[in-house]
Structure 1
Amino acid sequence: MVNFSDVTIFILKGSVISLKLFFITMIFSIPLGMLIAMGKISKSKILKIILGAYTWIFRGTPLMLQLFFAYFGLPVIGIRLSPLTAASITFIINYSAYLAEIFRGGIESIDKGQYEASKVIGLNHFQTMFKVIIPQAVRNVVPAVCNENINLIKDSALVAAIGIGDMLRAAKEIVTREFTITPFFIAALLYLLMTAVIVIAFRQLEKKLCVY
């Protein structure tokens, strides 16, 4: 008979990898996405073309394909990465492309009068962007960024395909060994719990930003 507590502890150990990948991706992809978004609305046509191609490629191809390329493809040209490093780089690049489009939309949604008003009071372009436009844009895109965070938690299960012991892989191992579906239900509940925490955190953030 399967011990419920032992199964839960084993799956929770896998959740450490899922959470580690989640935080690594968010810490690096959010600022990178913002930089890409600012580049896409710059006056440089060459930069726009390069960044447009970047977002087109990484939003238009499956994340699983990108993950396989980083882990199985790069060794062909002599670049070998550990499973977690390959997954982290892939997720950062992929999610920064999605977040870039979200931030770009948020920035472009700000009324043009904000730019004119900033110019009147003597702010340069840099000051206008970081003191006036971006704070308002961030407030507008919080719900969309929250959705991307939820997707990230679910997408983290893809790393099982390259041998990383995340929650899904841990649950699958027990199902295969013990011939019971209970681990899948436990894993599902843990995923739901993590997404619930993300939703609550972003709702609180949205409320705080609305105050300001």
Structure 2
Amino acid sequence: MSANTTATQVLFDAPGPRGRRRILLLSVLSVLLILALIGAGLWQFQRNGQLAADKWIPYLRRDYLAFLGKGLAGTLEATAVAAVIAFPFGLVLALGRISRLRALSTVAAVWIEFFRGIPMLLVVYAFLLALPAYGVTFPRFWMLVIPMILVSSATTAEVFRAGIGAVDRGQNEASAAVGLTHGQTMRYVILPQAVRLVLPSLILALVSLLKDSTLGYVVSFNELQFQGKTMVSITRFLVQTYLVVSVIYIVLNFLLTKLAGLLDVRMHRRAAEGSGRR
């Protein structure tokens, strides 16, 4: 097998001419079906008067934009704070799970598997309903952000663990040969490479955090989804409000996903350049 064989080629047989025609046909039919559904939806909206200009013009008003802008700021703040805490915590959990200390590895593994397996909504409800029953209360912001941190740290830990495992094992042998301890090898050699490898995945983890922030409505935190819900109760424009909110989320997620893709391409290009110099 040649060195240029990709993982995709190893796992899946490349389609022949007939298979490619079938894929092309299915792709075209899928696009046509999606366009038909969009057209049907627009026709239904038009029929019910939902596309009338007077129902959309208010969203160009400064006060409406400021109201949604406040929610967007809350969403970005919750996502940013959760990421700043969850990602380093996830790295600590990953290091704990691969630790040679059995007790530490067990504790980290239990933490990761528990918070990976539990829906974040249940964690939010625990902070909203269960903990206050025992006298433990938090501000609304932290009732949303702490569950985001707990769940994201567990999933991010596995991302970091995969990144550490992806670093060439020869790096450990080379580090030992120059006299570095296991801790020094991990700190100065393995971790910098692992973080670079998982950087695109961390950007995609931001997308998940951004989506998780929509649970802020449960604790009445002023994030974008909650502000949209409040605006619906004021304007009675349900379709218009949630379409505008959805477009904002789609744009944010698209930008983050695009950034992850660019980082992934850049890292593969650097890896290819490094291989070419050897």
TM over 0.5: yes
Report matched runs for 1:53-202 at 5 Å: 53-180=110-237, 181-202=239-260
Counterpart-to-counterpart distance in 2, 1:8 and 1:53:
45
What do residues 172-200 of structure 1 show as CA deviations (whole Å, max 9, x unaligned)?
22223322211111111111222233234
Q: How many residues align?
A: 212
Q: Determine if contact 1:107/1:134 at 8 Å carries over to the other structure.
A: yes
Counterpart-to-counterpart distance in 1, 2:179 and 2:260:
34
Counterpart-to-counterpart distance in 2, 1:127 and 1:18:
38
Query: Considering only CA atoms, is the larger Rg found in Structure 1 or Structure 2?
Result: 2
Aligned to 2:60: 5
2:105 aligned to which of 24, 43, 48: 48
Runs ≥4 in structure 1, deviation > 4 angstroms? 203-210
TM-score with structure 1 setting the length: 0.92
Counterpart-to-counterpart distance in 2, 1:143 and 1:163:
32
* SS of the residue 1:31 aligns to: helix
What's the Cα RMSD here? Answer: 1.8
Counterpart-to-counterpart distance in 2, 1:199 and 1:131:
29
Tell me the percent identity.
28
Counterpart-to-counterpart distance in 2, 1:19 and 1:72:
25
TM-score with structure 2 setting the length: 0.71
Q: Determine if contact 1:139/1:206 at 8 Å carries over to the other structure.
A: no
Q: Cα gap change, 1:127/1:208 in structure 2, threshold over 3 Å: closer, same or farther? A: farther
Query: Residue type of the partner of 2:83?
Result: M
Q: Determine if contact 2:160/2:195 at 8 Å carries over to the other structure.
A: yes
Counterpart-to-counterpart distance in 1, 2:182 and 2:102:
18
Q: Which 5+ residue runs of structure 2 have no aligned equivalent?
A: 1-53, 272-278
Counterpart-to-counterpart distance in 1, 2:200 and 2:266:
13
Q: Determine if contact 2:98/2:105 at 8 Å carries over to the other structure.
A: yes
* SS of the residue 1:81 aligns to: coil
Q: Determine if contact 2:121/2:215 at 8 Å carries over to the other structure.
A: yes
